[in-house]
Structure 1
Amino acid sequence: MIDSASVPTAAKAKGPVLSPEKLHELILKSLDDDQAQDVVSIPLEGKSNIADHMVVASGRSSRQVASMAQKLAERIKQAGRHARIEGLPSADWVLIDAEDVIVHLFRPEVRSFYNLERMWAFGDAPETASA
């Protein structure tokens, strides 16, 4: 008989891990719930090994971008996944690295300047998430 105290913490499962597709769905729903604008999802599977999806969205202000980022990171953590946030202090461009899905949240002016959708689409039309 194995004593549960001797099992390493990493081996103790906390339930099923959210699949990359379910994580992607959770992120799109969260952004929709928080009234993100111009949500675009770019499939990266087979194009890059950094993630399966990239999601790009806008908020109306730095305040909304920061709020969306914090809520999204919390929802991802509640689902049992990890999320790392960068860019929160200024909230002009916030990156959320959720491992299988990378999320970029922008103020509209900053988004149009960097135009990530064009750079990552590789000639394919990005998928626009519809509500």
Structure 2
Amino acid sequence: MKDKINLIKEACEEKIAKDIEVIELENGQALADYFVIATGNTANQTQSIADEVEKIATENNLDLLGKEGYRDGNWILVDLGDIIVHVFTPEFREYYDLERLWSKKI
């Protein structure tokens, strides 16, 4: 699992995402085991980050179950099964504040 998380973090870093956080979810708390949360400065950058995550997932044979919010780009969710990647613009990240809602940052 750590290798998958590192691949996702590296994909985000490749597109200069800011404030990348990994949150381990407790059993039964959500449909995934981990959230990876990252910020892009603009909707175009969040789309670029999501594209890179999708590219890395495909290249490494990770399950890509879905992608939501891509068109608007303010909050993009990439579902990799056991890992859900959330890519926000700064305003949307601050507003939804997932880090506060979910515990156990790693």
Q: Which runs of 5+ in 1 are unaligned?
A: 1-19
Superposition RMSD on alpha carbons, in Å?
1.4
For 1:57, the equivalent position in structure 2 comes to: 38
Structure of larger gyration radius: 1
TM-score by length of 2: 0.91
Does structure 2 conserve the Cα–Cα contact (< 8 Å) formed by 1:45 and 1:51? no
Identical aligned residues as a percent: 31
Give the SS at the match of 1:105.
strand
TM-score by length of 1: 0.74
For 2:94, the equivalent position in structure 1 comes to: 112
1:80-122 deviations in Å (ceiling 9; x for gaps):
112221110000000000011111000000110010110011x
Distance 1:105 1:64 in 2: 9
Residue 99 of structure 1 pairs with residue 99 of structure 2: no
Residue 30 of structure 1 pairs with residue 47 of structure 2: no
What pairs up with 1:37-76 in 2 under 5 angstroms? 37-46=18-27, 48-76=29-57
Distance 1:45 1:32 in 2: 26
